[in-house]
């Protein structure tokens, strides 16, 4: 099968929760004839939208996992990655963005640019993803696509240009005026599948002319031809405008704005046309791999199907038939029966079943070309792994994975749950790099950690539903850390004489705060006062000490350790003895280095009606928050604050009751900061009490 | 705290500006000459002396406003070594609050309501207010008078910025250009920023604490930090 890469689109649909992402995807699949009936997200028919494949998602009406699906529109192959909208799942979003070439940013015509849209848009900018904005829900009361377009400019700094204007809004929305062709488009039939093109209604003619001028002005920046044609006041061909819009969109300097209402079946087909016309094909996007055989030198992937295979596993799912691995190919062709290599583990594997996905259903295929998104069956790997032909040893650049900020102790209710729980945890950690789990050897508890309360809650739910593992949950724990604030010297002798050969080692030096990085070990020993072979033992001893601080038993970070003195004994010194000496030296220095406790600080944005701003600020202030700033527009306001994570438990409930459910907040990790004295004292007291009990 | 050199090199210190608690100041310049930077310097000067500042930004985002502070602090930290830079940055963040408004959302009642929210709940008690982006062209005298009266009642020192236009020659008797030529008497201090040929900015004081100043009283500033140009 020869594929024309020009006609491939890998796109994401990304947006604020509840702005209608799933509904839009559903409509796209319907119009491209991948599905034959439309179900609603919270459908009464009990079937639910096709993209939300997990039961939990169906129940909550939100999309957690980004399922990939394929469709074809007017000769173009479109792979759609449905991305989650809640900030707790941003790793999922970011991972999806990695494999996308372009995206549709959906906005609610009433809610406009909300804080989540800002987060998602920032991520898209980071990954250089060109996007088309789709202002959805124009049928709702209060719809105002013009205001939302202005917000795209103000809040997201996008050069947002409307390609359409609405014919009526709210209940009266009938269709859109296409400003490129200057035609009115109506969507007839029960499901809006019959497009009717008419002359622009009289009352909209002036506005359409004016907006078309704006459009042409903006896109003429990207085409000299178009600029000339405008100056000479010639008739401007449609293709010229399309080409200029495409150029502007690909350079990320223009964001075309489309409007409609997916729920009312309006504006979806023109949006698909825009995806074909303006979003990049795999050839338009430069992707970089790292050559592992050549000191991780950067290499550009070629997109050429005749080259050797390079593919990235960006998502794992536990399907009914075993592990399903979603991959994106960057060059070469993957065929059933091929032998490929996982470059992280170096393991060879054989391609078994290869499928193209449509949410829950799948279609067996023989091969997939460069730039495609498909899935493999029964391949053992972790998400983020790269697969190559045996001749290559490349890795798609590693993804930035933030450290977890919150943890929770879980314990299975019975023996059956025990086994299922470990199966589930094993699966989740493979799927999601921000979800971590370990067993605390002191308490024998299983600890799970992640990026937020909801993040962990969803996994606990999944454990119960998908794996039948019921667990009891402890109180959420914030991931505190300890660090030092000043330089301190140490000089510690470890000596033990208990018959037979004893233990002896002396370690001297100093520790000081490290502005950047977690741990640094510097060996300044001269004259062999500590023999070479025992230097790594000191390093080991220090590193072991960093695992648990003496204040509250939290891991220690940001310490530079320098050894410059010591002594040894020809018989009694050993690896063990120097490790012990280093541990003693660390204890000694640490106590003098003015250690402090650090806590995760979150960047929180609360948005809602202005009347509640005072109450919102009060509630943040009470929770030890630092209000960074406020933004007001009309009757809508945003409060931005830096909040200690430990104070944010249950905040959604507080906020709901404070604002009659009209405000909402998002939260993302910002940095670690020292806890105030009073809080530190309490934490230390609690730790001491726990220690003496245990 | 070791911030003395910063305090001393701040133009306001040298000019002995910005001391009175109820003082109302005005910074004028054409677009792009550093009005916002000077307002940020005014705010930083106040913060380094232990005060709390509210930065009102009309028509700008919180992130952009904060970026002004971060950039200027970075410049300052490059030129002046401070023993614990993080503490300085943290201190500034704790003593500053940003209030941004969409152009048409800013009004005296709105500002009053917001300040009361902060003060009555003891969240933030400002000593100084800087207001960037206030539209003098469409505000009549009564509006400015109303705001002045309110700020005085709160015992707040406040600084406004205003943009001059190249082709508008109107000037008040005291020498204050449009668009503030009809309200300039409401301000205790008026500063003009002018570009110089040697890529510095000249800071000209028209009126200082209610006393008009002779022409030619000025200082040269480094355009990136709005600090006094050395040497």
Q: What pLDDT sits at residue B95?
A: 94
Task: Assess contact for A441 and A491: CB atoms under 8 A.
Answer: no
A603 in reach of chain B (CB within 8 A): no
Q: Is the pLDDT at A384 greater than 90, yes or no? A: no
Nearest residue of chain A to residue B113 (CA atoms): A614
Q: What is the DSSP string of B13-31?
A: HHHT-S--TT-EEEEEEET
Q: What pLDDT sits at residue A64?
A: 39
Q: What pLDDT sits at residue B38?
A: 87
Nearest residue of chain B to residue A631 (CA atoms): B100
Domain match, A35 and A163 both: yes
pLDDT, tens digit, 9 for 90 and up, residues B83-119: 777 788 888 999 999 999 988 888 899 999 999 989 9
Task: With beta carbons under 8 A apart, name residues in chain A contacting B99.
Answer: 629-630, 632
* CA-based max dimension of chain A: 105
Q: Do the Cβ atoms of A626 and B93 come within 8 Å?
A: yes
pLDDT, tens digit, 9 for 90 and up, residues B159-189: 999 998 888 888 888 888 889 888 988 998 8
* Ranges A25-39, A120-134, A202-216, B158-172: which has the least confidence: A25-39
Domain match, A244 and A268 both: yes
* CA-based max dimension of chain B: 50
Taking the C-alpha atoms of residue A274 and residue A104, their distance in angstroms, rounded to an integer, is: 10
- Whether A528 is covered by a domain: the verdict is yes
Q: Do the Cβ atoms of B102 and A613 come within 8 Å?
A: no
Q: How many structural domains does chain A have?
A: 5
Q: Is the pLDDT at A594 greater than 90, yes or no? A: yes
Q: How many CA atoms lie within 13 A of B207 on its CB side?
A: 23
Task: Assess contact for A555 and A548: CB atoms under 8 A.
Answer: yes
Q: What pLDDT sits at residue A321?
A: 64
Q: Do the Cβ atoms of A629 and B93 come within 8 Å?
A: no
Q: Is the pLDDT at B61 greater than 50, yes or no? A: yes
pLDDT, tens digit, 9 for 90 and up, residues A674-694: 999 999 999 999 999 988 876
Domain match, A157 and A241 both: yes
Domain match, A149 and A255 both: yes
Token pair of A490, please?
A: 């140490």
CATH, residue A444:
3.30.70.870
Token pair of A418, please?
A: 């025990």
Taking the C-alpha atoms of residue B83 and residue B71, their distance in angstroms, rounded to an integer, is: 19
Q: Nearest-CA distance from B99 to chain A in Å?
A: 5
| DSSP label at residue A51 | S
- Whether A670 is covered by a domain: the verdict is yes
Task: With beta carbons under 8 A apart, name residues in chain B contacting A614.
Answer: 113, 116-117, 121
A632 in reach of chain B (CB within 8 A): yes
pLDDT, tens digit, 9 for 90 and up, residues A454-463: 778 888 888 8
CA dihedral A97, A600, A424, A378 (to 10 degrees): 30
Domain end: A571, A593, A615, which one? A593
| Domain B4-221 part of CATH 3.40.50.300 | yes
- Whether A690 is covered by a domain: the verdict is no
Domain match, A102 and A229 both: yes
Q: Is the pLDDT at A130 greater than 50, yes or no? A: yes
CATH, residue A554:
3.30.230.10
pLDDT, tens digit, 9 for 90 and up, residues A389-441: 888 888 775 545 666 778 888 888 888 888 888 888 888 887 777 788 888 77
Q: What pLDDT sits at residue A513?
A: 92
- Whether A615 is covered by a domain: the verdict is yes
Helix (H, G, I), strand (E, B) or coil at A512: strand
Q: What's the domain range around A549?
A: 482-593
What rounded mean pLDDT belongs to chain B?
A: 83
B110 in reach of chain A (CB within 8 A): yes
CA dihedral B139, B140, B146, B148 (to 10 degrees): 70
Test mutation, B56, B97, B103, chain A, max A CBs within 10 A: B97
State the average pLDDT over residues A364-370: 84
Q: What pLDDT sits at residue A65?
A: 46
Q: Is the pLDDT at A253 greater than 50, yes or no? A: yes
Task: With beta carbons under 8 A apart, name residues in chain A contacting B106.
Answer: 632
Taking the C-alpha atoms of residue A52 and residue A59, their distance in angstroms, rounded to an integer, is: 10
Token pair of B169, please?
A: 């020659």
Instruction: Report B:144-163 residues touching A (Cβ under 8 A).
Output: none
A46 in reach of chain B (CB within 8 A): no
Q: Do the Cβ atoms of A630 and B98 come within 8 Å?
A: yes
Residue A34 or B24, more confident: B24
CATH, residue A205:
3.40.50.300
Taking the C-alpha atoms of residue B23 and residue B186, their distance in angstroms, rounded to an integer, is: 10
- Output B198-201 pairs: Cβ under 8 A, ≥24 positions apart: B199/B223, B200/B229, B201/B33, B201/B34, B201/B226
CATH, residue A629:
3.30.70.240
pLDDT, tens digit, 9 for 90 and up, residues A108-121: 888 888 766 776 77
CATH, residue A308:
2.40.30.10
For residue A74, the tally of other CB atoms under 10 A from its CB is 12
Q: What pLDDT sits at residue B14?
A: 56
Q: What pLDDT sits at residue B218?
A: 66
Q: Is the pLDDT at A88 greater than 60, yes or no? A: no
Q: What pLDDT sits at residue A585?
A: 96
Find the CB nearest A629 among B86, B99, B106.
B99
Taking the C-alpha atoms of residue A451 and residue A428, their distance in angstroms, rounded to an integer, is: 14
Q: Is the pLDDT at B231 greater than 50, yes or no? A: no
Q: What pLDDT sits at residue A83?
A: 66
Which H or E run contains B192? strand B189-195
pLDDT, tens digit, 9 for 90 and up, residues A161-174: 999 998 888 888 88
Q: Is the pLDDT at A68 greater than 80, yes or no? A: no
Q: How confident is the model at residue A546 (pLDDT cuts 50, 70, 90)?
A: very high
Q: Is the pLDDT at A177 greater than 80, yes or no? A: yes
Q: Is the pLDDT at A61 greater than 70, yes or no? A: no
How many residue pairs from chains A and B have C-beta atoms closer than 8 A? 65
- Whether A693 is covered by a domain: the verdict is no
Residue with tokens 């969240």: B123
> Phi and psi dihedrals of A345, rounded to 5?
-95, -20
Domain match, A570 and A499 both: yes
What rounded mean pLDDT belongs to chain A?
A: 83
For residue A6, the tally of other CB atoms under 10 A from its CB is 11
Residue with tokens 């539209």: B135
Q: What pLDDT sits at residue A46?
A: 46
Helices (H), A324-441: 415-431
Domain end: A396, A429, A453, which one? A396
Task: With beta carbons under 8 A apart, name residues in chain A contacting B65.
Answer: 629
Nearest residue of chain B to residue A633 (CA atoms): B102
Q: Is the pLDDT at A383 greater than 80, yes or no? A: no
Residue B55 or B74, more confident: B55
Domain match, A351 and A425 both: no
Residue A145 or A451, more confident: A145
pLDDT, tens digit, 9 for 90 and up, residues A617-670: 999 999 999 999 999 877 778 899 999 988 888 888 888 888 877 777 877 788
Domain end: A227, A257, A284, which one? A284
Taking the C-alpha atoms of residue A665 and residue A284, their distance in angstroms, rounded to an integer, is: 37
- Whether A247 is covered by a domain: the verdict is yes
- Whether A687 is covered by a domain: the verdict is no
Q: Is the pLDDT at A39 greater than 70, yes or no? A: no
Task: Assess contact for A479 and A405: CB atoms under 8 A.
Answer: yes
Q: Report chain B's terminal Cα–Cα distance, integer Å.
A: 26
Question: Does the predicted interface ipTM exceed a cut of 0.90?
Answer: no
Nearest residue of chain B to residue A614 (CA atoms): B117
Domain match, A192 and A307 both: no
State the average pLDDT over residues B196-200: 75
| DSSP label at residue A30 | H
């Amino acid at each position: 099968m020869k594929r024309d890469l020009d006609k491939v689109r890998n796109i994401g649909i990304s947006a604020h929760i509840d702005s209608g992402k799933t509904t839009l995807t559903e409509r796209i699949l319907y119009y491209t004839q991948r599905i034959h009936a439309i179900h609603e997200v919270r459908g009464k028919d009990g079937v639910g939208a096709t993209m939300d494949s997990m039961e939990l998602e169906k129940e909550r009406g939100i999309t957690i996992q980004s399922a990939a699906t394929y469709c074809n529109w007017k000769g173009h192959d479109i792979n759609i990655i449905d991305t989650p909208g809640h900030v707790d799942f941003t790793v999922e979003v970011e991972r999806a963005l990695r494999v996308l070439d372009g995206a549709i940013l959906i906005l609610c015509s009433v809610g406009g640019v909300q804080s989540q849209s800002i987060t998602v848009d920032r991520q898209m900018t980071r990954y250089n993803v060109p996007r088309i904005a789709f202002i959805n829900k124009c049928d709702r009361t209060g719809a105002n696509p013009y205001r939302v377009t202005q917000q795209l400019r103000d809040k997201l700094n996008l050069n947002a240009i409307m390609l359409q204007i609405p014919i009526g809004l709210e209940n009266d929305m009938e269709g859109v005026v296409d400003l490129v062709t200057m035609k009115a488009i109506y969507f007839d039939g029960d499901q809006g599948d019959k497009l009717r093109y008419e002359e622009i209604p009289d009352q909209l003619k002036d506005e359409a002319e004016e907006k078309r001028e704006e459009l042409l002005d903006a896109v003429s920046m990207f085409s000299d031809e178009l600029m000339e044609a405008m100056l000479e006041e010639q008739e401007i061909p449609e293709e010229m405008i399309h080409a200029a819009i495409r150029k502007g969109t690909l350079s990320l300097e223009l964001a075309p704005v489309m409007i409609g209402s997916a729920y009312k079946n309006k504006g979806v087909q023109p949006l698909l046309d825009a995806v074909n016309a303006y979003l990049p094909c795999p050839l338009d996007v430069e992707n970089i791999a790292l050559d592992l055989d050549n000191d991780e030198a950067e290499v550009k992937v070629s997109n050429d199907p005749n080259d050797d295979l390079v593919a990235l596993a960006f998502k794992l799912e536990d399907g009914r038939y075993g592990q399903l691995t979603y991959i994106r190919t960057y060059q070469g062709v993957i065929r059933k029966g091929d032998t490929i290599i996982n470059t992280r583990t170096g393991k060879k594997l054989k391609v078994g079943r290869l499928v193209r996905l449509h949410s829950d259903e799948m279609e067996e295929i023989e091969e997939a070309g460069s730039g495609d998104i498909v899935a493999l069956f029964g391949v053992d790997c972790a998400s983020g792994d790269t697969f190559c032909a045996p001749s290559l040893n490349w890795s798609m650049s590693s993804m930035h994975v933030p450290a977890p900020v919150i943890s929770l102790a879980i314990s299975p209710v019975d023996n059956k749950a025990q086994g299922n729980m470990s199966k589930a945890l094993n699966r989740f950690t493979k799927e999601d790099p921000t979800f971590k789990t370990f067993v605390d050897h002191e308490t024998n508890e299983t600890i799970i950690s992640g990026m937020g309360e909801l993040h962990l809650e969803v996994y606990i739910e999944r454990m119960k539903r998908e794996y039948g593992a019921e667990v009891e949950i402890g109180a959420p724990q914030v991931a505190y850390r300890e660090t030092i604030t000043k330089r301190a010297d140490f000089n510690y002798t470890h000596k033990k004489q208990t018959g037979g050969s004893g233990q002896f080692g002396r370690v001297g030096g100093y520790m000081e705060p490290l502005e950047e990085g977690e741990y640094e070990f510097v060996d300044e020993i001269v004259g062999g006062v500590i023999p070479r072979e025992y230097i790594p033992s000191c390093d080991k001893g220090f590193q072991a000490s960093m695992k648990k601080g003496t204040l509250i038993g939290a891991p220690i970070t940001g310490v530079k350790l320098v050894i410059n003195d010591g002594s040894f004994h020809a018989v009694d010194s050993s690896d063990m003895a120097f490790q012990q000496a280093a541990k003693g030296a660390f204890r000694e220095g640490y106590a003098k280095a003015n250690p402090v406790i650090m806590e995760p600080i979150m960047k929180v944005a609360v948005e809602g009606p202005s009347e509640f701003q005072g109450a919102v600020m009060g509630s943040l202030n009470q929770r030890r928050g630092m209000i960074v700033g406020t933004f007001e527009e009309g009757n809508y306001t945003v409060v931005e604050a830096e909040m200690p994570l430990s104070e944010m438990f249950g905040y959604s409930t507080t906020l709901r009751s404070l604002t009659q459910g009209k405000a909402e907040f998002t939260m993302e990790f910002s940095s670690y900061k020292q806890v105030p004295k009073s809080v530190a004292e309490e934490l230390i007291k609690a730790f001491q009490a726990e220690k003496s009990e245990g | 705290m070791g911030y003395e050199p910063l305090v001393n090199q701040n133009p306001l210190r040298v000019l002995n500006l910005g001391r009175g608690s109820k003082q109302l100041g005005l910074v004028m310049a054409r677009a792009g000459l550093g009005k916002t930077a000077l307002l940020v310097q005014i705010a930083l000067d106040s913060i380094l002396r232990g005060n709390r500042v509210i930065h009102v930004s009309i028509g700008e985002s919180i992130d952009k406003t904060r970026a002004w502070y971060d950039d200027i602090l970075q410049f300052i930290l490059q030129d002046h070594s401070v023993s614990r830079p993080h503490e300085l940055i943290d201190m500034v963040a704790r003593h500053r609050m940003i209030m941004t408004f969409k152009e048409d959302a800013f009004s005296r009642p709105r500002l009053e309501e917001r300040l009361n929210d902060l003060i009555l709940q003891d969240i933030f008690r400002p000593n100084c207010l800087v207001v960037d982006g206030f539209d003098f062209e469409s505000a009549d005298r009564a509006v400015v008078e109303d705001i002045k009266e309110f700020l005085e009642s709160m015992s707040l020192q406040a600084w406004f910025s205003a943009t001059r236009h190249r082709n508008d020659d109107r000037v008040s008797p005291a020498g204050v250009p449009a668009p503030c030529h009809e309200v300039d008497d409401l301000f205790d201090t008026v500063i003009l920023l002018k570009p110089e040929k040697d890529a510095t900015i000249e800071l000209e004081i028209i009126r200082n604490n209610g006393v008009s100043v002779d022409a030619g009283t000025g200082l040269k500033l480094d355009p990136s930090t709005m600090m006094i140009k050395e040497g």
